Amino acid sequence: MKTSIILSICYFVLAPFIGGLLEGFDRKISARMQRRVGPPVLQPFYDVIKLFNKENQAVYRSQTWLMFTYFVLMILTGVMFFAGFDLLLCFFVMSTSATFLYFAACVTGSPYSNIGAHRELLQMTAYEPAVLLACVGFYLVKGSFDVVTIASGSFSAIKYLPGFFIAFVFILTIKMRKSPFDTSASHHMHQELVKGLTTEFSGPNLALFQVSEWYENVFLMGVVGLFIINSNPVSIAVAVGVCLLTYFLEILIDNSNARMKWQKMLKVTWIVTLLCAGVNLAVLIFV
């Protein structure tokens, strides 16, 4: 019980710093891959502080509380996960937070923001099957949806869930808004959506969005680590290494692929989910 409380508090306090550092290294590594020097590793923190110090210019007042609700629910998702709660419930809260983000983008009335918001729903349609199947896989091999039970088992879940792991890592490209699946929003202005989902976000609202993304990325890396962690303390170090390798893989994919149309994203994601997680599920049930 004490360990769960400590972990949840550590997530609440440290996740934005870890997420910000990961983004800082992301920018630096991406720049090196493109033969640029790149910004300082701490640049994401400077950007967020600058945004929080700006005047809040929301198109509608409702956008502010919608963004704040998205922010709170995203924190709640990670706190529940690191406290050892039901994994299925964690993903449900995460999906609910994404719904509030959708409404925050839609309420502005901007055509770019609206298109980005609708593509966000399409992205949810693409990655949700892999997320739900991952929960099912954990239950089949561990006998529980509780994170604490899964993490304290005598063996690593990936031993029986390699297909689920591949499918989950694949959809991380969507969740982390990396190419070729950054269809709803982009870090770059020079594309057909301008900034898509975040076109009308500015000042503190945009800062909340950025910090929420940091919280979400740490939570997602935690799920990746859940495939590795078991009762052996050494597995924690291995899980951290796998998480860092996965994050680097996402950076590599982002810098070596052009954006796909949403139709192709949907098709490719479902095919990978079916071939990897679906086949793995069939093996678990029938073999």
pLDDT of 44-76, one tens digit each? 999 999 999 988 776 677 888 999 999 999 999
Q: pTM for this structure?
A: 0.94
Q: Is the pLDDT of residue 210 over 60?
A: yes
Cβ neighbors of 28 (< 8 A, separation 6 or more) are 38, 39, 41
Mean pLDDT across 144-162: 94
Percent of the chain residues past pLDDT 70, beyond the cut: 95
Of the two residues 190 and 7, the one the predictor is more confident about is 7
| Residue 269: predicted pLDDT | 94
* Cβ atoms within 10 Å, residue 251: 19
* Tens-digit pLDDT profile for residues 234-262: 999 999 999 999 999 999 999 888 888 88
Cβ neighbors of 274 (< 8 A, separation 6 or more) are none
C-alpha closest to that of 127 among 277, 271, 274, 270: 270
The span from the CA of 263 to the CA of 73, in Å, is: 29
Cis omega (within 30 of 0) for bond into 233: no
Give me the count of residues in the chain.
287
Mean pLDDT across 105-118: 82
Mean pLDDT across 88-95: 94
Q: Could you tell me the residue ranges of all domains in the chain? A: 2-286
Cβ neighbors of 271 (< 8 A, separation 6 or more) are none
| Residue 280: predicted pLDDT | 96
Of the two residues 55 and 41, the one the predictor is more confident about is 41
Mean pLDDT across 258-285: 91
Q: How far is CA 122 from the centre of its chain?
A: 16
* Tens-digit pLDDT profile for residues 6-32: 999 999 999 999 999 999 999 999 999
The pLDDT mean for the chain works out to 90
Of 112-116, 230-234, 260-264, 270-274, which gets the smallest average pLDDT? Answer: 112-116
| Residue 112: predicted pLDDT | 79
| Residue 95, both tokens | 């999906």
Sort 102 into a burial class: Cβ within 10 Å, 0-12 / 13-18 / 19+: buried
Q: Is the pLDDT of residue 189 over 60?
A: no
| Residue 110: predicted pLDDT | 77
